[in-house]
Amino acid sequence: MRVLHLNSGNIYGGVETFLATVAREADAAPYMESEFALCFEGRLSAELDECGRSPHLLGNVRLSRPLTVLRARRALAGLLQRGSFDVVVCHQPWTCVVFASVIRTAGLPIVLWVHMAGDGRHWLDRLCRLTRPDRVVGNSRFTAGAVSRWLSGARVEYVYAPLSLPRTSPTLAERADIRRTLETAEANVVLIQVSRLDALKGHRVLLAALGQLRDVAGWTCWIVGGAQRPAEVAYLRELRNLAHDHGIAERVRFVGERNDVPRVLSAADIYCQANTEPEGFGLTFVEAMQAGLPVVTSGIGGACEVVDGSCGILTPPGDVAALSRALRRLIVDRDFKERLGAEARRRPETLCHAPRQLHMMHAVLASVAAAPLATGHSAEA
């Protein structure tokens, strides 16, 4: 079966990690030939190139510039005529809005793969209803439930993301080298957050909680993630100022974007991401657990399917005091931290074992390819 995955490609986050993993683990699913088409070149296109799965480039698209949309649609139409694909997967509503009409005209099944659990009120969600997909796949039970409420009548399923096993385990020397690079003492407890610079990821809450831990010696915080859009530049500046205002600027490292996230995680001790809004799934939590880190996050959304009391701590969203208490316990009680970390290391296999998850993906997509296509447009708007 030949599958074409469509994505914008202009930013890098959980969606792009998912697609890079599908490319990287292709040998684990020889029955499913995956190709990729992107609008923008960037980190994702570079990673696909490295995997030997160079993407088809459709051209930069700005919805505010109709000619760019038309050019990209023509490029996709030509690709679909040449490609003999069995099914096309649109990752996120934006891609479906831009390209669903072309896919429908080509007579191919449309799968909308949703990675974030919105409420359907965003204008992209509303436009997405105009050309109803043949199947919707969420990245968690939570996401699937949310989509079912705003895309009524659609058949919705969920599949957890595949995650590659680490190729090698970093040595103690590599761990020490990363810490030296980030000006962190080897004996310190390192708290880390890896995410886009988006306010819903809870950076403000984390910094406020750490401000209440000024009296606790021996910790450092690494905030990993670079500014990818102009608004994120301003947000990063705000976070630096907040660290200063909370009196912890010398203990917080703003690391920027890294392409060696597994290595950086392996040099840390505790993962914390205090979301103020739900994650659809939270692949970064699984990556952290794979590195043996206990996870502290908000008890909302897909995180509740990933993290439980055996491998981490869930706190109420926005509750600075509760987050501070959880982090204090993990920093001070090393035995507790180690117990949670040991269980965390076992959990990714249960959730995201790559061959199993790719098999599940294939089963869903093959069933779509074999089914009658949806007809025309939805009456909803």
pLDDT (tens digit per residue) in 314-325: 999 999 999 999
Binned at pLDDT 50, 70 and 90, residue 90 comes out as very high
Rg (CA), the chain: 21
Does residue 378 belong to any structural domain of this protein?
Answer: no
DSSP letter at 161 equals P
Same domain for 84 and 214: no
Which pLDDT score is estimated for 379?
Answer: 33
Domain that holds residue 100: 2-162+354-370
- Residue 262 covered by a domain: yes
Residues 6 or more apart whose CB falls under 8 angstroms from that of 324 comprise: 209, 210, 212, 213
Measured CA angle at 324 (ends 318, 330), to 5 deg: 130
- Looking at the structure, tell me whether residues 177 and 73 fall in a common domain: no
Assess if residue 258 is contained within a domain. Answer: yes
The confidence band for 380, taking pLDDT boundaries of 50, 70 and 90, is: very low
65 vs 81: CA distance, rounded Å: 25
Q: In this predicted model, what pLDDT tens digit does every residue of 110-153 receive, in sequence order? A: 999 999 888 888 989 888 888 889 999 999 999 999 999 998 88
pLDDT greater than 70 at residue 34: yes
- In this model, does residue 195 exceed pLDDT 60? yes
pLDDT tens for residues 204-229?
999 999 999 999 999 999 999 988 88
Alpha carbon of residue 314 to chain centroid: 19
CA gap 260, 282 in Å, rounded: 18
| pLDDT at residue 108, as a whole number | 96
Q: What secondary structure letter does DSSP report for 301?
A: T
Q: Which residues contact 81 (CB under 8 A, 6 or more apart)?
A: 106
Both 105 and 198 in one domain: the answer is no
Tokens 């103690």, residue located = 172
195/219 same-domain check: yes
11 with 153, same domain? yes
Strands 56-57 and 87-91: unpaired
**Per-residue confidence (pLDDT) for residue 138, from 0 to 100:** 96
| Cβ partners under 8 Å of residue 87, min gap 6 | 1, 3, 4, 108, 109, 111, 365, 368, 369
233 and 295 within one domain? yes
Q: Which tens digit of pLDDT belongs to each residue from 286-312?
A: 999 999 999 999 999 999 999 999 999
Residue 377 lies in a domain: no
Residues 139 and 71 in one domain: yes
What's the CATH code of the domain at 315? 3.40.50.2000
112 domain residue, yes or no? yes
Q: What is the per-residue pLDDT for 370?
A: 84
Overall pTM surpassing 0.85 (yes/no): yes
Which of these, 115, 112, 96, 147, lies nearest to 14 by C-alpha position? Answer: 115
DSSP 50-79: HTT-PPEE-----TT-HHHHHHHHHHHHHH
The answer to whether residue 11 is domain-embedded is yes
Residues 6, 57, single domain; the answer is: yes
Looking at the structure, do residues 299 and 187 belong to the same domain, yes or no?
A: yes
- Rounded to whole angstroms, the Cα distance separating 324 from 308 reads 18
- How many domains does the structure of the chain reveal? 2
Residue 250 lies in a domain: yes
Top pLDDT among 83 and 334 is at 334
pLDDT of residue 378: 43
**Residues 351-381 as b or e (16 or more Cβ within 10 Å = b):** bbbbeebbbbbbebbbebbeeeebeeebeee
Residues 94 and 189 in one domain: no
Same domain, 210 and 249: yes
| CA–CA separation, 105 and 113 (whole Å) | 20
Look at residue 4 and give its three-state secondary structure: strand
Quick count: other Cβ atoms within 10 Å of Cβ 51? Answer: 16
- Closest listed residue to residue 218, CA positions, set 170, 172, 251, 263: 251
Residue 304 falls inside a structural domain:
yes
Work out the pLDDT band at 168, boundaries 50, 70, 90: low
Predicted pLDDT at 259: 86
Average per-residue pLDDT for the chain = 93
The structure tokens listed for 162 are 């595949």
Same domain, 113 and 238: no
Cα distances from 2 to residues 5, 80, 214, in angstroms, run 10, 11, 55
Strands 87-91 and 270-273, bridge-based pairing: unpaired
| pLDDT number for residue 363 | 96
| Contact indicator for 235, 200 with CB cutoff of 8 Å | no
